[in-house]
Amino acid sequence: MDISIQDKVGIFRSYCVGFGHTEGTPLSKASFTIGSGRDYDLHSYDEVAEMVKEISIASQLGELSVCQKSVLHQLKGYGVLAAFHCIAEIEEETT
């Protein structure tokens, strides 16, 4: 059983700095603000989900590039990785 959009949004808001979602819209319309200093970028949910997937695969293979390591540290720092892991664990428990 999948977690509801509202529950996922709640998890992302609990874990992530810079997560935005408008009630009543699909999760794919959500966004993350990620960056440092005075340089911040707005990323769609789909972009971030793809980054998490790509980095997870590369880390399992032990082949993270310098760029992927940088993105990994940002995703960790902003709580994004922890939120995706939390959702995955809950979904795994409910199946």
pLDDT tens column, 39-71: 788 899 999 999 999 999 998 998 899 999 988
- Position 30 scores a pLDDT of 96
CA of 4: how far to CAs of 8, 26, 29, 30, 65, in Å?
A: 6, 11, 15, 14, 34
Query: Whole-model pTM?
Result: 0.87
Three-state secondary-structure class, residue 58: helix
DSSP reduced 3-state for 34: strand
Mean pLDDT, rounded, of the chain = 90
